[in-house]
């Protein structure tokens, strides 16, 4: 039986992959152009792993939030690697 923490870890990994692929292909919250296939993959993950039945608009909102989160993480990582400190 899979533990809750293992399930959460797999879920986070899948969502991070979807977010990174979206960013790599230029889909950002700013241009609001998340690939429909990626949204459908996210929808499938939410349905299969969490039994969440969401419409495409709700999945788009989640996807956009994930992209914002990953963009922020990448900016922080870039800043830290560059040696710049936040005030």
| pLDDT tens per residue, range 43-82 | 998 999 889 999 999 998 888 888 888 888 888 887 887 7
Q: Does residue 14 belong to any structural domain of this protein? A: yes
Query: Does residue 50 lie within any of the structural domains?
Result: yes
Residue 3 placed within a domain: no
83 falls within a domain: no
Whether 77 is covered by a domain: the verdict is: no
Interval 73-85: pLDDT, tens: 888 887 887 765 5
> 17: number of CA atoms within 13 Å, CB side?
9
Which pair of structure tokens corresponds to residue 83? Answer: 């040696």
User: Residue 47: its pLDDT value, please?
Assistant: 92
Task: List the one residue out of 24, 25, 35 whose CA is nearest residue 64.
Answer: 35
pTM: 0.58
| Residue 66 structural domain | 8-70
Q: Look at residue 75 and tell me if it is in a domain.
A: no
In this predicted structure, the answer to whether residue 27 has a pLDDT above a threshold of 60 is no
């Amino acid at each position: 039986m899979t533990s809750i923490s293992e399930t959460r870890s797999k879920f986070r990994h899948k969502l991070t992959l979807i977010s990174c692929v979206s960013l790599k292909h230029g889909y950002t919250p700013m241009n609001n152009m998340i690939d429909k296939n990626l949204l459908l993959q996210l929808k499938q993950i939410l349905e299969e792993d969490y039994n969440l039945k969401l419409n495409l608009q709700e999945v788009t909102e989640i996807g956009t939030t994930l992209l914002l989160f990953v963009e922020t993480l990448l900016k922080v990582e870039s800043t830290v690697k560059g040696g710049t400190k936040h005030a």
